[in-house]
Amino acid sequence: MTRTKDRYDVCIIGSGPNGLSAASLLAQSGLSILVLEAKSKLGGGMRTEELTLPGFLHDVCSGAHPMGILSPFFKTLPLEKFGLKWKEPPISVAHPLDEEPSVLLTQSIEETAEGLGIDGSSYQKLISPFVNNSPHFWEDVLAPIHIPKDPFSFVRFGLTGIRSAKGLAGSRFKEKRAKALFAGLASHSILPLESPLTAALGLVFAVSAHQKSWPVVEGGSENLAKALVAYLNTMGVEFQTNTRITSIAELPQTKVVIFDTDPLQLASLTESHLPGLYRKRLERFRFGPGVFKMDWALDRAIPWKDPKCLSASTIHLGGTMEEIAKAEADVWKGKHPDRPYVLLVQQSLFDPSRAPNGKHTGYAYCHVPNGSRIDLTEVIEKQIERFAPGFSKTILARHSMYTADFERYNPNYVGGAITGGAADLTQAFFRPVARLNPYSTPNPHLYICSASTPPGGGVHGMCGFYAAKTVLKRIDKLKSLKFT
Ligand X SMILES: Cc1cc2nc3c(=O)[nH]c(=O)nc-3n(C[C@H](O)[C@H](O)[C@H](O)COP(=O)(O)OP(=O)(O)OC[C@H]3O[C@@H](n4cnc5c(N)ncnc54)[C@H](O)[C@@H]3O)c2cc1C
How many Å is the Cα radius of gyration of the chain?
Answer: 22
What's the closest the beta carbon of residue 20 comes to ligand X, in angstroms?
7
Q: What is residue 41's DSSP assignment? A: S
Task: Rule CB under 6 A: choose which of 34, 57, 58, 65 binds ligand X.
Answer: 65
- Which span sits near ligand X by CB under 6 A: 88-96, 118-126, 414-422, 430-438? 414-422
The residues in 92-121 that bind ligand X, with binding defined as CB under 6 A, are none
Task: Rule CB under 6 A: choose which of 32, 112, 412, 427 binds ligand X.
Answer: 412
What's the closest the beta carbon of residue 319 comes to ligand X, in angstroms?
21
What's the closest the beta carbon of residue 448 comes to ligand X, in angstroms?
9
How far apart CA 186 and CA 205 sit, in angstroms, is 8
- Which span sits near ligand X by CB under 6 A: 56-64, 118-126, 325-333, 376-384? 56-64
433-440: list long-range contacts, CB under 8 Å, 24+ apart: 433/263, 433/278, 433/281, 433/282, 433/285, 437/144, 437/470, 438/144, 439/144, 439/463, 439/466, 439/467, 439/470, 440/470
The residues in 264-283 that bind ligand X, with binding defined as CB under 6 A, are 265
| Total number of residues shown for the chain | 484
| H or E element in which residue 204 lies | helix 198-211
Task: Rule CB under 6 A: choose which of 11, 18, 176, 226 binds ligand X.
Answer: 18
Task: Rule CB under 6 A: choose which of 45, 96, 289, 369 binds ligand X.
Answer: 45
Q: Angle 176-186/120-132 helices, nearest 10 degrees?
A: 40
How far apart CA 278 and CA 255 sit, in angstroms, is 21
Under DSSP, is residue 21 helix (H, G, I), strand (E, B) or coil? Answer: helix
Task: Rule CB under 6 A: choose which of 8, 12, 16, 228 binds ligand X.
Answer: 16
Q: By CB under 6 A, how many residues form the interface with ligand X?
A: 41
What's the closest the beta carbon of residue 455 comes to ligand X, in angstroms?
11
The residues in 210-249 that bind ligand X, with binding defined as CB under 6 A, are 244-245
Task: Rule CB under 6 A: choose which of 9, 26, 31, 37 binds ligand X.
Answer: 37
Nearest to ligand X of 161, 421 (CB atom): 421
Under DSSP, is residue 378 helix (H, G, I), strand (E, B) or coil? Answer: helix
Contacts of 462 (CB under 8 A, 6+ apart): 18, 21, 71, 72, 73, 142, 143, 455
Task: Rule CB under 6 A: choose which of 10, 11, 12, 19 binds ligand X.
Answer: 19
- How many angstroms from the chain centroid is the CA of residue 355? 24
Nearest to ligand X of 50, 98 (CB atom): 50
What's the closest the beta carbon of residue 240 comes to ligand X, in angstroms?
9
Query: What CA–CA distances, in Å, run from 307 to 102, 302, 390?
Result: 9, 9, 14
Using DSSP bridges, classify how beta strands 395-401 and 238-240 pair: parallel, antiparallel or unpaired: unpaired
Show the binding pattern over residues 354-393: x = contacts ligand X (CB under 6 A), - = does not. -----------x----------------------------
What's the closest the beta carbon of residue 27 comes to ligand X, in angstroms?
16
Task: Rule CB under 6 A: choose which of 352, 411, 415, 444 binds ligand X.
Answer: 411
- Which span sits near ligand X by CB under 6 A: 14-22, 108-116, 162-170, 429-437? 14-22
What's the closest the beta carbon of residue 43 comes to ligand X, in angstroms?
6
Nearest to ligand X of 268, 311 (CB atom): 268
How many other CB atoms sit within 10 Å of the CB of residue 309?
26
Task: Rule CB under 6 A: choose which of 10, 11, 13, 91 binds ligand X.
Answer: 13
CA proximity to 224, closest of 403, 450, 409, 15: 15
How far apart CA 98 and CA 296 sit, in angstroms, is 24
How far apart CA 258 and CA 155 sit, in angstroms, is 32
Q: Does residue 58 bind ligand X (CB under 6 A)?
A: no
Given the rule CB under 6 A, which residues bind ligand X? 13-19, 36-39, 44-45, 61-65, 67-68, 244-245, 260-261, 265, 291, 293, 365, 406, 410-413, 418-420, 450-451, 457-459
